[in-house]
Structure 1
Amino acid sequence: MKIDAHHHLWDLNAVEYPWLMEKGAVRFFGDPTPIQRNYLLPEYRADASAQGFSASVHIQVGAADPWAEAQWVQSVADQYPDWPLVQVVFCDLTANDLEYQLDRFQSLPSVRGVRQIVGRAPGEDAKTGTNKLLENPDFRNGLVAVGERGLSFDLQLLPELMEQTAEVLSQAPSTPVALCHAGSPHDRSAEGLSHWQDALSSLSKLPNVHCKLSGLGMFDHNWSAQSVAPIASTCLSQFGADRCMFGSNFPVDSLSSTYYELVSRLQELIPGAHQNSVFHNTAKRFYRFE
C-alpha cells in the first residue's frame, strides 16, 4: 500500500475555483489550460492505483469558498469508502473567527490539517502579499492553535523565506508541519540549489517539520530523475526518510509528466530501504490514517 500525500481534485460544477477558470493566464507552474476541467477521484484513482497507491491526501486548492470545498471533499470521501481519503483545508490563521472556523472544519471526519500558502513564486508573491503573514503575530498564534487541536499545517513557501519561517515555527513546536514541494526550489542552477540547500537546513533542524517530495515539475517542465536527484538526496539527508513523504501534486504536475513517469523517477532516486517510509509510513503517521 502506498499513500499519495499531496494531490487535488475539483468539480467545477460543485465548487468555484477563480484561479482555475481564469482564461489565458499563464501561472508559475505553466499554462493551466489542459487542467481547466473536472478532475474527479475515479480518474485520479485509475492513475494512482496502477502505481500501487491505495489512499491519498487531498490538499486545498484555492476555492472561492473553503468551507464549500471541504464539504465537497468530505462527500467524495464518503462516496468512496474503499479509498481512504483525508484532507487539508484552507484556513486563514489570522482571522478573527479562527476558533469558529476550526470548529466547523473539525466537524468533518476527513480533516487532518490546514494550509495557508506563504509563498508560491517570486512574481506572484509580489502581487498577493502572502509573504507578510510571517510578520503577523496572529499567524504565529494561529499555528499554535492548530497544533493544540491536534491538526497539522501544510507549509508552502520559497527558499528565500525559510529562515524567517523557521523562526516563526520554532514558536509553535507542537504543531506538525509538512513542507510542500520540497520548499519550492525554483532556481535550478547550481547556485540556486546551493542557496536552497542552506536555507532548507533551518527548517529541517526543527523536529516537527516534515518534507514532501512533490511539485518537482512546477518550475521545470523538462525535469528528469537526473535533474532532480540533488533535490531528492538533500531532502532525504536533511530530514531522513522518516520525515519525507511522496506527493504527486496531480493534476497540476500532469502538466510536466504522467503519473507513471513521476512515480518511477522518484522511485529511482529513493534507496529501497527508504521507500516504505517515503511512499507509505511517513504519510500514514503524519496524516493519521486509521
Structure 2
Amino acid sequence: MRIDAHHHLWQYNPEEYDWIDDSMVVLKKNFLIEELQQTLANNHIDGSIAVQARQSIEETNWLLSLANSSAEIKGVVGWIDLKSETLNHQLKQCKSHKKLVGFRHVIQGETDPDFMRNDKFIHGLKALAEHGYCYDLLIYAHQLPSAIEMLAKVPDLRVVIDHIAKPNIKTGDEFSRWQYGMKTLAKNPNVYCKVSGMVTEADWQNWQYENFVPYLDTIFQYFGENRVMFGSDWPVCLVAGDYSKVKQIIHDYLSNKNQQTIGNVFGLNAAKFYQLD
C-alpha cells in the first residue's frame, strides 16, 4: 500500500489560520476530503495520514469524523493538551477512536526557549508512550538541541520528525549543525523521519532537485531505508510545487534503489510506525 504520511485538511478561516499570509494566497481556501481523494488518486497513492494544523480538540474530532467516513485516511495525528491534569483520562477515552494514531504540538511556533524542558510537557509525552500513542515532532532546525534533550527523557516514545526538522534549504545555512542534530536523534531506533515539507524550506519559485540531495543523503544515511517515510505536506506544499512535483523529488532520489526500499519509503514504514491495521 502506498501511503502519504503527512497532509492536512481545513475549512479556511483567516483568524484560525493566521499563519497563512499574503505570500500563501493559494492556501486561503477550503481543502476538503473530496479534493484530497482526487489528488491521491491522481498520484496513485492508496491512503494517507491526516495531521493536525490547529491546536484544538475540535479540529481533531473533525479530522476523525472525516477519517471514519473515508477509506483513504488511514490514520489521524491529532492534538491534545499534553500538560492537562486529566491527560491520562483523556487518552483512555481516545481509545474508542480506532483511527487516532498519535498526536502533535506545533512546537515550531512556541517562543519560549524552555518549552521542551517543561516537566509537564515531558510528563505528557511519557503518557503517550504508556498509552501506545506516537508523536509527530514539528520543530525548526535551530530547535534540534532542545529536542534532543527532551526526547532523551522519553526514549520509549515512538517519534517521527516532521519535514526533516525544517532546515533552511534556501540558503543552506547551518547545514552541519542540522546534520549533527539529525545524526544524534537517529541513534534512537524509535525515531523516524518524514521526507516532507522540503519545498517550502527552499526557494519557492526557483528550487531544483539538486537542492534537496544533500539533505536526503543525510536522512537516508542516518535513519536508513526502514525509518524514512514520504509525506506530501499537501496542501501547504502548493506554495512551492504541486503534489506530483513533491512526490517526484523522492521518486527521483530513489530511482536507483530496489523495490523493497521504494515500498518502505512510500508506505510500509508509515504503516509500521503508525501501527495501521
TM-score with structure 2 length normalisation?
0.91
Return the alpha-carbon distance in structure 1 between the equivalents of residues 160 and 14 of structure 2.
24
Helix, strand or coil at the partner of 1:262: helix
- State the match for 1:243 in structure 2: 227
Return the alpha-carbon distance in structure 2 between the equivalents of residues 95 and 223 of structure 1.
42
Return the alpha-carbon distance in structure 2 between the equivalents of residues 40 and 24 of structure 1.
17
Contact 2:68–2:99 (8 Å) recurs in 1: no
Helix, strand or coil at the partner of 1:102: helix
Listed as ranges, the matches of 1:168-247 within 5 Å are: 168-186=150-168, 188-220=170-202, 221=204, 222-247=206-231
Q: Against the structure 1 CA distance between its residues 277 and 24, is the aligned structure 2 distance closer, same or farther, given a 3 Å change threshold?
A: closer
Contact 2:169–2:211 (8 Å) recurs in 1: no
Cα deviation for residue 130 of structure 1 reads: 5.0
Is 2:62 aligned against 1:72? yes
Q: Against the structure 1 CA distance between its residues 25 and 68, is the aligned structure 2 distance closer, same or farther, given a 3 Å change threshold?
A: same
- State the match for 1:287 in structure 2: 274
- State the match for 2:21 in structure 1: 25
Contact 1:163–1:203 (8 Å) recurs in 2: no
Letter in 2 for 1:112: V
Helix, strand or coil at the partner of 2:200: coil
Cα deviation for residue 132 of structure 1 reads: 2.6
Helix, strand or coil at the partner of 2:10: coil
Q: Against the structure 1 CA distance between its residues 135 and 275, is the aligned structure 2 distance closer, same or farther, given a 3 Å change threshold?
A: same
Letter in 2 for 1:276: G
Helix, strand or coil at the partner of 1:272: coil
Return the alpha-carbon distance in structure 2 between the equivalents of residues 36 and 83 of structure 1.
24
Contact 2:49–2:74 (8 Å) recurs in 1: yes
Letter in 2 for 1:217: V
Return the alpha-carbon distance in structure 1 between the equivalents of residues 166 and 172 of structure 2.
15
Helix, strand or coil at the partner of 2:114: helix
- State the match for 1:37 in structure 2: 29
Listed as ranges, the matches of 1:254-273 within 5 Å are: 254-270=238-254, 271-273=256-258
Cα deviation for residue 191 of structure 1 reads: 4.6
Cα deviation for residue 160 of structure 1 reads: 2.0
Return the alpha-carbon distance in structure 2 between the equivalents of residues 107 and 67 of structure 1.
15
- State the match for 1:5 in structure 2: 5
- State the match for 2:264 in structure 1: 277
1:189-225 per-residue CA deviation (whole Å, 9 max, x = no partner) reads 4452222111211111111110000000122213222
Letter in 2 for 1:73: L
RMSD value, Cα: 2.0
- State the match for 1:122 in structure 2: none
Percent identity between the aligned chains?
A: 27
Matched length: 272
1:242-286 per-residue CA deviation (whole Å, 9 max, x = no partner) reads 000000000001111011111112110124322111101100101
Return the alpha-carbon distance in structure 2 between the equivalents of residues 108 and 32 of structure 1.
33
Helix, strand or coil at the partner of 1:241: coil
Return the alpha-carbon distance in structure 2 between the equivalents of residues 24 and 70 of structure 1.
20
In structure 2, list runs of 5 or more residues that go unmatched. none
- State the match for 1:116 in structure 2: 105
Letter in 2 for 1:200: M
Q: Against the structure 1 CA distance between its residues 236 and 129, is the aligned structure 2 distance closer, same or farther, given a 3 Å change threshold?
A: same
Contact 1:8–1:250 (8 Å) recurs in 2: yes
Cα deviation for residue 287 of structure 1 reads: 0.9
Is 2:44 aligned against 1:52? yes
